[in-house]
Amino acid sequence: MKNEDFTTTMLVNASPAEAFKAINNVRGWWSSTLKGNTEKLNDEFHYQYKDMHSSTQKLVEVVPDKKVVWLVSDSMLSFIMQKDEWDGTTISFELSPKAEQTEIVFTHHGLVPSVECYDACYGGWSHYLHESLVPLINTGKGNPD
């Protein structure tokens, strides 16, 4: 069976350790106004974008320089019918060295084409990952918010 979870792959000009550190600097690439902690196992943080999206993520797996997994424990997406569509989904970042670079495979498990949020969330994740996280890793400057 084909995996339909939203997945994107990025290649960055950094070591796995540098990429891992940037991924965990969620304020540097997603939102500078996050509340909570974003670095260690069991840390929780809350994201809020206007009245359109709020969600709480908990770090449920942290393997230094290799993998980070967030569990979405509470969400509210005002622009869709099932406002808590992200609840229970997981978000993972898997890192592996590729020559002088690092490959990052991002997957939002549960964000599949059949859910209402898919198109908007696909666009949002693509923006924050490719236009903010990658520059943060490669240049030290992300584009959060």
pTM of the predicted model, to two decimals? 0.95
Per residue in 62-90, pLDDT (tens digit) is: 999 999 999 999 999 999 999 999 999 99
The number of C-alpha atoms within 13 Å of 75 and in the hemisphere containing its C-beta is 21
Which tokens is 89 given? 């989904």
Measuring CA to CA, which residue among 53, 111, 126 is closest to residue 83?
53
- Residue 13 near residue 101, CB atoms below 8 Å: yes
Over range 26-40, report the average pLDDT.
97
Per residue in 99-110, pLDDT (tens digit) is: 999 999 999 999
Position 2 scores a pLDDT of: 61
All domains of the chain, ordered by start, with CATH? 6-139 (3.30.530.20)
Per residue in 42-64, pLDDT (tens digit) is: 999 999 999 999 999 999 999 99
What are the distances in angstroms from CA 61 to CA 3, 64, 72, 74, 140?
A: 21, 10, 13, 18, 25
Position 34 scores a pLDDT of: 96
